[in-house]
Amino acid sequence: MLLSKILLPTLKDAPQEAEVISHKLMLRAGMIRKVASGIYTWLPMGLKVLRKIENIVREEMDASGAQEVFMPMVQPRELWEETKRWDKMGPELLRIKDRHDRDFCLGPTHEEVITDVIRSTVKSYKELPLNIYQIQTKFRDEVRPRYGIMRGREFLMKDSYSFNMDEESLQETYLTMRDTYKKVLERMDLEYKISAADSGAIGGDSSEEFHILADNGEDTIAVSDTSEFAINTELLLKDGEDIKSLEGKPSPDGKGTIQIKKGIEVGHIFKLGEIYADAMKANVLNNEGKASTLFMGCYGIGVSRLVAAAIEQNNDEKGIIWPHSIAPYDINIIAIGYDKNKEIASASNQLYLQLKEMGYEVLLDDRKDGYGTKIKDSELIGIPLNIIIGKQFIENKEVELKSRSGESSINSIADIETILEFFKDK
């Protein structure tokens, strides 16, 4: 893609409204624009990253044996009456009326819709277990939308729902999902903790949250300094107790002492048990031919929140440092004097095509600006590798390779192997 052609409104300074680094950088890097409180448009550079994360999630969900569907965002009141959540949910549930004065809501989650589908389609234990997922827009009228897309009102979630015959089968799917989420976060090179959590409005007997460790996290988690153990401090604090007082106490798992960390919740897995299936009379025939209530689990990943969380964990004073697997582009060819020097233009074009043919996603900065502006923009956007074609190219056919993480080297433009080798370990 030619940089001169992209809708990329980069900003020198972040607008006043942005409090946290990820929000500032997403606005400055031209990734999103605000439409209303908690509601954003994703611009091309932002959408590229969002789609990369979505694809990683989709690949890992498919690999786990889950099946993708696409449910409606608009849901009828009647389904929500069945679980009593039409009343329980409060103002976070955005309610609307159609032209016939019928009540609907914008889906903040999809337990009701999927359970309705399953109870009318699955008849026998032989068809189970099933794990059904979607990647879809959710709407929650949050009390305090903030931090840009980190806590939006409209956001993208991967939500899945498993249907199992019994507790053991549910436990198996739950562990498969736990593993799948680990794979997703590992592919994104993010540092995370799995913490025991409060099940909140969704209900159910047990749940765990996946937290990206970052100073701007809204959650406070207690982690052991020697083991994997982590727990949301919500569960640990007794009435009137201060979070600080937990620091240094023995870890509840008996290993090491507690350290207090800030985390961004990016995933949440629940064992719901029979509550929803019971409320909605979702039964199947068991192996004795008797109607048996289904066991359910639900598993969510905040796809759009992950974009912000990845930035919170990977940035410096110059801008974003994308983990390679989710960078919007792999390589930026910075052509100095593209508009004036035919040799530079043609060498840049050729390199651009060659790299694209090899399967890389490449930007070519063909704009009139000088080196300073171009490298600053590239560092702000966070492209992993820059190839600079300028004076050294005219003098002796050399290009400078510069990684976002700080390494650089000079190479012959003909030496594409070394260029890509350099790229590999960054």
Task: Please state, as a whole number, how many other Cβ atoms lie within 10 Å of the Cβ of residue 312.
Answer: 23
Among 302, 328, 337, 384, binds ligand ATP (CB under 6 A): 302
Contact string (CB under 6 A) for ligand ATP, positions 142-161, x = contact? x--------xx--x-x----
**Nearer to ligand ATP (CB atom), residue 209 or residue 366:** 209
**Interface with ligand ATP includes 200 (CB under 6 A)?**
yes
Give one DSSP letter per residue of 58-102, joined into a string. HHHHHHTT-EE----SEEEHHHHHHTTHHHHTGGGS-EEE-TT--
Contact call for residues 362 and 355 (beta carbons, < 8 A): yes
Helix (H, G, I), strand (E, B) or coil at 206: strand
Of residues 93 and 336, the one with the C-beta less far from ligand ATP: 93
Q: Does 390 bind ligand ATP (CB under 6 A)?
A: no
* Site mask for ligand ATP (CB under 6 A), range 88-127, x = bound: ---------------------x------------------
The residues with which 97 forms a beta bridge, in sequence order, are 103
C-alpha span between 410 and 391 (Å, rounded) = 12
Closest distance between ligand ATP and the C-beta of residue 14, in Å? 20
Least CB distance to ligand ATP at residue 257 (A): 26
Rounded to a whole number of angstroms, the minimum distance from the CB of residue 106 to ligand ATP is 13
Task: Compare residues 221 and 401 and give the one whose CB is closer to ligand ATP.
Answer: 221
**Short-list 23, 42, 24, 22, CA closest to 32:** 42
In the chain, how long is the greatest CA-to-CA distance?
A: 83
Q: How far is the CB of 160 from ligand ATP (least distance, A)?
A: 11
Per CB under 6 A, 267 contacts ligand ATP: yes
One residue of 305, 374, 402, 404 binding ligand ATP per CB under 6 A: 305
- Closest to ligand ATP by CB, 234 or 274: 234
Q: Name the H helices within 358-385.
A: 371-381
Q: Which of residues 9-48 bind ligand ATP (CB under 6 A)?
A: none
Judged by CB, which is closer to ligand ATP: 157, or 333?
A: 157
Q: Which two tokens stand for residue 369?
A: 């600006």
Closer to ligand ATP at the Cβ: 140 or 402?
Answer: 140
Q: How far is the CB of 181 from ligand ATP (least distance, A)?
A: 10
Please check whether residue 114 is in contact with residue 276, taking contact to mean a CB–CB distance below 8 angstroms. no
Please list the residues that pair with 131 across neighbouring strands. Answer: 162
- Which residue from 263, 300, 319, 390 is in contact with ligand ATP, where contact means CB under 6 A? 300
Smallest distance, ligand ATP to C-beta of residue 348, A: 39
Cα 58–chain centre separation: 12
Answer for which of 24, 28, 110, 268 binds ligand ATP (CB under 6 A) is 268
CA–CA distance, 380 with 344 (Å, rounded to integer) = 24
Number of residues that bind ligand ATP (CB under 6 A): 17
Q: Is 82 in the site for ligand ATP (CB under 6 A)?
A: no
Alpha-carbon span 263 to 216, nearest angstrom: 7
The residue of the chain with the least Cβ separation from ligand ATP equals: 302
Name the nearest CA neighbour of 397 among 411, 385, 409: 411
Distance of CA 101 to the CA centre of its chain: 37
Question: Which residue, 159 or 366, has its beta carbon nearer to ligand ATP?
Answer: 159
Residue 12 CB neighbour total at 10 angstroms: 7
Handedness of CA 173, 60, 211, 145 (dihedral sign): negative
Q: How far is the CB of 140 from ligand ATP (least distance, A)?
A: 5
Strands, E assignment, 74-184: 74-76, 95-97, 103-106, 130-139, 154-164
- Both tokens of 364, joined, read 């070519």
Q: In angstroms, what is the minimal distance from the CB of 404 to ligand ATP?
A: 26
Considering the complex, state which of residue 151 and residue 404 has its C-beta at the smaller distance from ligand ATP: 151
Of 155 and 352, the one with the shorter C-beta distance to ligand ATP is 155
Minimum separation from the CB atom of position 260 to ligand ATP (A)? 18
Tell me which of 105, 246, 266, 334 binds ligand ATP, using CB under 6 A.
Answer: 266
CA distances from 425 to 87, 97, 258, 384, 405 (A): 54, 55, 35, 11, 11
Distance CA 84, CA 92 (A): 15
**Residues contributing to the site for ligand ATP (CB under 6 A):** 109, 140, 142, 151-152, 155, 157, 200, 202, 265-268, 300, 302, 304-305
